[in-house]
């Protein structure tokens, strides 16, 4: 029996339920940029603007409106912290705010391709770790499930932008 701070494995109670995942939707949007802010104390900060796209899954589909922001802060170790804000419009006209943070890293020679659309298409996605944790907000009653659940997504660069596979955490 393990015990610390008055808690033991016997008194801790049952283990939490296992985590599962359900496919929510695929999402693809185009990027404009980057705008390179240069290297500051925390690393190199770049901004891509989103130029529209699509999303589709079993319970929802629609378009991603132009004008979103996709920020990356890359540290000296080559790892990037991501901060994204986009506007989605469901097929029924309902608006949804999507915001996520995430993490991406790869080898330096591959990272050099990211700002260049023609080079992004040649990147091997298996050599890029690219994961995000989307959160959604909406006034829609039909799509309120987006705001009441936790999501994770894998991502990969495409020639003109980024594709995501979004999973709902069960």
pLDDT, average across residues 124-130: 85
Give yes or no for residue 9 having a pLDDT over 80: no
Q: Which residue has the higher pLDDT, 51 or 13?
A: 51
> Degrees (nearest 5) of the Cα angle 98, 74, 97?
5
Of the two residues 160 and 53, the one the predictor is more confident about is 53
Pairing of strands 61-74, 3-4: unpaired
* CA dihedral over 63, 149, 132, 81, signed as positive or negative: positive
Predicted pLDDT at 24: 98
Sign of CA dihedral 97, 62, 104, 35: negative
Q: How far apart are CA 40 and CA 31, in angstroms?
A: 23
Short-list 57, 59, 58, CA closest to 28? 57
pLDDT (tens digit per residue) in 36-70? 998 899 988 999 999 999 999 999 999 999 999 99
- 3-state DSSP call for residue 163? strand
Chain segment 146-159, per-residue pLDDT in tens: 999 999 999 998 88
Which pLDDT does position 113 carry in this prediction? 66
What's the pTM? 0.87
- Average pLDDT score over the chain: 90
Closest CA to 123 of 159, 148, 94: 159
Q: Count other Cβ atoms within 10 Å, centred on residue 70.
A: 22
To the nearest whole percent, how much of the chain has pLDDT over 70?
A: 92
> For 15-37, what is each residue's pLDDT tens digit?
788 999 999 999 999 999 889 99
114 by Cβ neighbours in 10 Å (0-12 / 13-18 / 19+) ranks as: buried
More confident of the two residues 55 and 74: 55
Q: Does domain 20-169 have CATH number 2.40.160.20?
A: yes
In this prediction, residue 117 carries a pLDDT of 64
75-115, pLDDT tens digit by residue?
A: 888 889 999 999 999 999 999 999 999 999 887 777 766 76
* Cβ(78)–Cβ(110) below 8 Å: no
| Sequence ranges of the domains in the chain | 20-169
Task: Compute the average pLDDT of residues 137-166.
Answer: 95
């Amino acid at each position: 029996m393990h015990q610390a701070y008055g808690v033991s494995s016997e008194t801790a109670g049952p283990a939490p339920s296992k985590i599962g995942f359900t496919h929510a939707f695929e999402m693809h949007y185009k990027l404009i940029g980057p705008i390179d802010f240069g290297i500051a104390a925390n690393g190199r900060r770049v901004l891509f603007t989103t130029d529209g796209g699509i999303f589709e899954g079993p319970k929802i589909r629609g378009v991603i409106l132009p004008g979103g922001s996709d920020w990356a802060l890359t540290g000296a170790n080559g790892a990037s912290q991501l901060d994204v804000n986009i506007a989605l419009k469901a097929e029924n006209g309902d608006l949804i705010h999507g915001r996520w943070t995430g993490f991406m890293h790869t080898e330096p020679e591959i990272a050099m391709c990211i700002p260049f659309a023609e080079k992004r298409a040649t990147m091997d996605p298996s050599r890029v770790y690219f994961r995000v944790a989307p959160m959604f907000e909406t006034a829609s009653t039909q799509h309120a499930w987006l705001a009441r659940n936790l999501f994770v997504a894998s991502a990969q660069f495409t020639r003109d932008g980024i594709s995501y596979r979004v999973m709902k955490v069960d």
